[in-house]
Chains A and B, each alone.
Chain A
């Protein structure tokens, strides 16, 4: 078996692959956590201040919306580079897993927030009205009605964001972010070792498959419609 693997994939250093996989998983886990923690309230805020909603604030929504759109329209590769000074300020380094997480979070949060806003918009207005008629505060409406009703949509948003983050982590290899994408670029592309490229791409594909399947399961589990 070992002999076969070595002959088919001569350049693959499995220890390095293992380390890169762990790096990718930590970048993904860390950035997904922060993206969710920051993006969920931002999405709720976008929803509440949007036209015809409970806290309709035209100017504020317009400003927030523009900010989100600006961040979303900056290509991630550019964001990676522009963010370097800020990243150093926050984490002390622009390299490795720690250096990759801030640009990943800044890149994914506006995207996730928009998805959350859309998921909340899918909640039947009648349910908000019914909760208002019970004498609920806006906070109670968000916690007890909006978020539970939008939960399947929010899980779908987390899944899409996680998969987007996988491809972002691969790009962060460009600025020394580490991980599977980094291996693919350095060995597969720059040194022309297609076997390394193949292994990393297959591993990324497996990761995406697992994320999508788990996400779909969660969505179905929490859908009561």
Chain B
């Protein structure tokens, strides 16, 4: 554990040196408090923490469900500064190179910059939480007695292979985010015609593409080293799901999703949820069956976009631990519902205040918009303005309309549904401090 702590600090210091100076103010100001809390907690808890004993803070849950606190508690339980899990890859030579190149892009409008900042810091520390969830689920489930001692990290109660898997999960997720920052420069598009910024954009695309590929390549190497082909299969299928998610439905020039025109699907679509074929990971999500039903369609889109990776990673982690198929399925469901609950929470966020904040937009396939379209199909005519670019849409107007309707309440309902489902699945796991930490995270999310 001491080693991990030391490496966390070292990573942070090295990162500071490597990150372009232009990004530094943001980096130092925003990340420093996190670092402080992280280090102080680590140091003070060293003596009290050992594998199974829950510290008093965990057994008496915080009175108010505070997100940051729930996450730090959880990190302590798995004995690893997971906030840095996703940043370790930044230290390779290739990425150091990228950091140099990124400097050229500072000040340009390339979305890669936004993604980079978002990765280094975001308001609710959510980016880092994924690997943490995988580790907590791993610890909550424990492992089969057949697993040899050398493969265990005794102090943290997870296997080394599970740690590697958690890291792979984050790398794949970031690679998808980075690949999604590529700008469409086809000559028929606005971005393709803008001569002034074309070179910047083209260069940003190159860096983004290579960085994403680097992460994918390294995840596949790490996966291979786990020496478990079922796990490789499962996680590869999650990569497939990510790419599939970017093809569903109509898109503007920059591939931002647009909702289907109400009435596109005449036949009554399924209202029971669909999911992957448990017996064949190659079979894609049968999304065509649910198109037109706002809730089910939203669910499918976001399973592909998020739930698949988190669910399949949790499942794969239990595979590594030699757990039963049944518990693996529970782990998948837990990850899926947690990701969906989290997505519903994010979708609702722009609608929490009566006036849409400046420079804030929202996805046109987010739950509130889809629910509102069902309630008032007439709003679609306003969304048609976004066919070329979603920037042409009057977000304020739509924001107002949605707030006046029932969509936000339905979104909250949706979040509660998935939160409850995640909590219910959790009951299949033995009561441990790790399970408690997962519950705390879910409850904290609800209060966000």
A, B from the same assembly: no
